[in-house]
């Protein structure tokens, strides 16, 4: 199926790599104009060369935790695409954060990088989303936004908070033509996640354990994340809002 997002105008935060880029590419393949943002200009430039093969694509660097950057990126996206009706936020930070010895500053860093990007993206994109008449916001949370995980207090708190933000914002927007939903992926083999695994004493064993922790015994694929994002951005999902969709191979059913 093609052109499910024909005429859509999508801004993707964290769109230069990983899940964000996979979602941007899936949207572009389905006919959307896309505009990606992130901190690394070179990465964004390379991503846009790939995205341009599918249609209109642009970028602007910025820090999604900084209000002024989000305002600037939003304005640039609206100018480039001639409007804005879809926002996807793939941003966050992780790290080991046991209750017993985690520095307050590290906990705060993870919370800020989890919650500020979707809040700011909606705060400064709201007027454009409402003007579009039919719009969608998609926020990448995690399966650890649905359950707990040992020594990951900061990450779990941040990703649970994302879902609370999504549900509240969905109600604010519900009668204004804007839908807000979250995706909750399991372990996906992105460049970043694989780089983190490489730091382990036995990377191959850790990678295999991460794959097998799902009831469906493998990692999630980037194309599967993109497909979910396309559905949530599309008109057939017009009655879907305020939801947190687990795409985790059954991990959270246990």
For the record, the structure tokens of 14 come out as 């964290």
Coil, helix or strand for 162?
helix
Exposed e or buried b per residue across 126-154, where buried means at least 16 C-beta atoms within 10 angstroms of its C-beta: bebbeebeebbbbbbbbbbbbbeeeebbb
Give the per-residue pLDDT at 101: 95
Contact at 8 Å (CB) between 11 and 18? no
Q: How far apart are CA 196 and CA 191, in angstroms?
A: 9
As annotated, the active-site residues are: 155
* DSSP 8-class letter at 124: H
Contact at 8 Å (CB) between 145 and 184? yes
Mean pLDDT by 10 residues, the chain (254 residues): 90 96 98 97 96 97 98 98 98 89 96 97 98 97 96 95 98 98 96 82 92 96 97 98 98 93
Q: How far apart are CA 154 and CA 102, in angstroms?
A: 9
Contact at 8 Å (CB) between 49 and 25? no
Burial class (CB in 10 A: 0-12, 13-18, 19+), 212: middle
Q: What is the pTM of this model?
A: 0.96
Give the per-residue pLDDT at 27: 98
Give the per-residue pLDDT at 193: 84
């Amino acid at each position: 199926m093609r052109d499910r997002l024909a005429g859509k105008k999508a801004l993707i935060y964290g769109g230069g790599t990983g899940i964000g880029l996979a979602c941007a590419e899936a949207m572009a393949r389905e006919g959307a104009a896309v505009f990606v943002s992130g901190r690394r200009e070179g990465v964004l430039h390379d991503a846009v060369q790939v995205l341009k093969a599918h249609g209109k694509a642009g970028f602007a660097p910025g820090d999604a935790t900084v209000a002024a950057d989000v305002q600037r990126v939003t304005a640039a996206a609206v100018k480039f695409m001639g409007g804005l009706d879809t926002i996807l936020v793939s941003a966050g930070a992780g790290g080991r954060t046991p209750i017993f010895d985690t520095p307050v500053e590290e906990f705060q860093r993870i919370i800020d990088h989890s919650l500020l990007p979707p809040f700011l993206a909606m705060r400064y994109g709201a007027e454009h989303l409402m003007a579009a008449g039919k719009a969608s916001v998609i926020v990448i949370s995690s399966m650890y936004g649905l359950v707990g995980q040992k020594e990951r207090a900061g990450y779990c708190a941040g990703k649970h908070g994302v879902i609370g933000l999504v549900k509240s914002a969905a109600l604010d927007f519900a009668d204004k033509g804007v839908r807000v939903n979250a995706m909750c992926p399991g372990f996906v083999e992105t460049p970043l996640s694989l780089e983190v695994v490489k730091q382990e004493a036995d990377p191959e064993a850790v990678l295999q354990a991460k794959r097998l922790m799902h009831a469906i015994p493998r990692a999630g694929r980037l194309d599967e994340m993109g497909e979910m994002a396309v559905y949530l951005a599309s008109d057939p999902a017009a009655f879907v809002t305020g939801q947190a969709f687990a795409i985790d191979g059954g991990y959270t059913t246990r």
